[in-house]
Structure 1
Amino acid sequence: MEQFKNVYFFDPFGKDTERIRKDLVEVFKNLGINTVDSSVEADLIASIGGDGTFLQAVRKTGFRNDCVYIGIAIEEDDYMYVDFSYKESRMIEEALTSEETHVRNYPTIEVKINDNQSSYCLNEFTLRSSIVKTIMMDVYIDDFLFEQFHGDGILVCTPTGSTGYNKSLGGAVVDPLLKAIQVTELASVNNNKYRTLGTSFLLNKDRPLTLMIDKKRDYYPIMSLDNEALSLQNTEEVQIRVSDRVIKTLKLPNNTFWHKTQRNFL
């Protein structure tokens, strides 16, 4: 296991978790790891909270692929991204010192809206109409017009994001070792006039997805990138692909993605 030098704590709860943070500072100090005030200086970023906090930590620190992220839970619960509990500091110490602990890579999604700068998702991206109206868009795989979608919207998730919203829509749970995105429909309209595939599908890292929104109607699409909402007028084209950027976390013995899936759903 590599030796970490500096840790940055992502603690959005502030005073509510001040004591927990102080205790964790001592735990890491005893391991020879200094606490820093800037995430840029850190080679280890630790979120204090649940899965939502972990996703925020990754987003707020710029989806860095040159450091390792870990999640430390406050509540006693089962999570998909968070591996540790602040009440069990011994597990943190063992993970950071054991030769059996390795680094695992989680794939991310790259999203480009119109010609704007790329954004990233670790969990999922959704696009839907913000008003009570179905949305129409052309769905391209590579440069091939695959289908003309008419419905509430489209969800695109990473393998690690496949167990949440995607699963509730009937999508598949996907192994994170697969560098792929899963595309799932949100209440598509299927009749004699409109027709979609009607099921989720997977695209590998070499197959980008493009959504071309119908310009004939006034849509105000609302998009979500993980747990952050984004509303843009005049959105015409959204390009989505598997990113070359990965998020590094600790791979713990007996705590793989499938161990977590079993604990949460079986």
Structure 2
Amino acid sequence: MIKWQHPLHKGGFIVSDQRRNLFFYYHPSHELDEKLTPLFQLASDNDFNVVNESKEANIIIAIGGDGTFLQAVRKTGFRQDCLYVGIRSHNEAGLYCDFDIDDHDEMIAAMKNAEVEVRRFPVIEATVNGESTYQCLNECSVRSTLIKSIVVDVHIDDLHFETFRGDGLVIATPTGSTAYNKSVNGAVVDPKLPCFQVSELASLNNNRYRTLGSSFILSGERTLKLDVRQDGNDHPVIGMDNEAFSIRNIRDVTIKLSDDVIKTVKMKHNTYWDRVKRTFL
């Protein structure tokens, strides 16, 4: 029997009898089904139970890439009572996926030698019109759906900070800072910092509209409020991670750092900055 034995207070993770129900989240294909067969057997040989419902699982395993991992977290409700594991199904770099589906030996060695630990990634909450609240692990974006710019009054806590006019805004978590945020020249942020970042999409600066013109990072204690000007462009697309929501008559979006975190199982010696270097440099 294989157990992870490293003490919790040193950053390790113990698989107890209460953490033996596994749910695999993936997009079925003939090739992937063949690769998963030995993985299912490996789980069975080590006294794990593979369940068909995510709500019955203590460990949720996403097979694919970072996009699949984001979907797994969202589709299973950002659960706080379980662990998430990312496994790459192809030879690609992944910031959320530490393991490779073709390298069973690596998984076994990591478990036997206690080379894994639990890491906690920040989550942001976006509340639309003071009613519906959504969680995001990567980012929330507000973008125009028309061939015209969107106008947004940006408030930080009770301060009117700027009036933005352009294609939209991206609000990213630290782990999301390497995704959409980075593509619009936002900063890459260490996930140990409890914060979120605001980046512009093609802002228009003139005598009437003036923005900071650069990304800015807010403390997790701050609240960001985006008041959308009702000028006919009042139902923009709101992106939550890698899903789009078309919500009509958007008046405002309030964003703050959530008290929730996503707990993931990671290789102990594969830090966030190791993965950033491997992915981009």
Q: TM-score range by the shorter chain?
A: over 0.9
**Cα offsets for 1:179-231 (capped at 9, x unmatched):** 11000010101112210000001111110110000124343300110010001
**Cα offsets for 1:87-145 (capped at 9, x unmatched):** 10122223334334220100011111113231111011110110111000110111211
Q: Which amino acid aligns with 1:57?
A: A
Instruction: Say which SS state the counterpart of residue 118 (structure 1) adopts.
Output: strand
Please say if 1:206 is aligned against 2:213. Answer: no
Q: Is the 8 A contact 1:107 1:243 kept in 2?
A: yes
For 2:130 and 2:210, the matched residues in 1 are separated by 29
Instruction: Say which SS state the counterpart of residue 258 (structure 1) adopts.
Output: helix
For 2:145 and 2:153, the matched residues in 1 are separated by 18
Alignment of 1:26-175 (within 5 A): 26-175=41-190
Q: Which amino acid aligns with 1:252?
A: M
Deviation for aligned residue 1:75: 0.7
Unaligned runs of 5+ in 1: none
Could you say which residue in structure 1 is the equivalent of 2:232?
217
For 1:165 and 1:176, the matched residues in 2 are separated by 16
Deviation for aligned residue 1:16: 4.6
Unaligned runs of 5+ in 2: 1-12
For 1:123 and 1:95, the matched residues in 2 are separated by 27
Instruction: Say which SS state the counterpart of residue 150 (structure 1) adopts.
Output: strand
Instruction: Say which SS state the counterpart of residue 243 (structure 1) adopts.
Output: strand
TM-score, with length taken from structure 1: 0.96
- When structure 1 is superposed on structure 2, of 240-249 and 14-23 the one drifting more is 14-23
Instruction: Say which SS state the counterpart of residue 70 (structure 2) adopts.
Output: helix
Q: Which of 235, 238, 247 is the equivalent residue of 1:232?
A: 247
Please say if 1:13 is aligned against 2:13. Answer: no
TM-score, with length taken from structure 2: 0.91
**Cα offsets for 1:28-73 (capped at 9, x unmatched):** 1222211011111111100110110000000000001211111111
Please say if 1:176 is aligned against 2:188. Answer: no
Q: Is the 8 A contact 2:153 2:228 kept in 1?
A: yes
Could you say which residue in structure 1 is the equivalent of 2:262?
247
Deviation for aligned residue 1:14: 4.7
For 1:42 and 1:218, the matched residues in 2 are separated by 42
For 1:100 and 1:79, the matched residues in 2 are separated by 18
Percent identical residues:
45
Q: Is the 8 A contact 1:140 1:147 kept in 2?
A: yes
- When structure 1 is superposed on structure 2, of 91-100 and 5-14 the one drifting more is 91-100
Q: Is the 8 A contact 1:47 1:70 kept in 2?
A: yes
For 1:88 and 1:204, the matched residues in 2 are separated by 39
Moved over 6 A (4+): none
Q: Which of 8, 14, 19 is the equivalent residue of 1:2?
A: 14
Q: Is the 8 A contact 2:129 2:253 kept in 1?
A: yes
Instruction: Say which SS state the counterpart of residue 59 (structure 1) adopts.
Output: helix
Q: Is the 8 A contact 2:146 2:233 kept in 1?
A: no
Instruction: Say which SS state the counterpart of residue 202 (structure 2) adopts.
Output: strand
Q: Is the 8 A contact 1:31 1:93 kept in 2?
A: no
Q: CA RMSD in A?
A: 1.3
Q: Which amino acid aligns with 1:2?
A: I
- When structure 1 is superposed on structure 2, of 110-119 and 8-17 the one drifting more is 8-17
Q: Which amino acid aligns with 2:101?
A: Y
Q: Is the 8 A contact 1:104 1:248 kept in 2?
A: yes
Deviation for aligned residue 1:24: 1.3
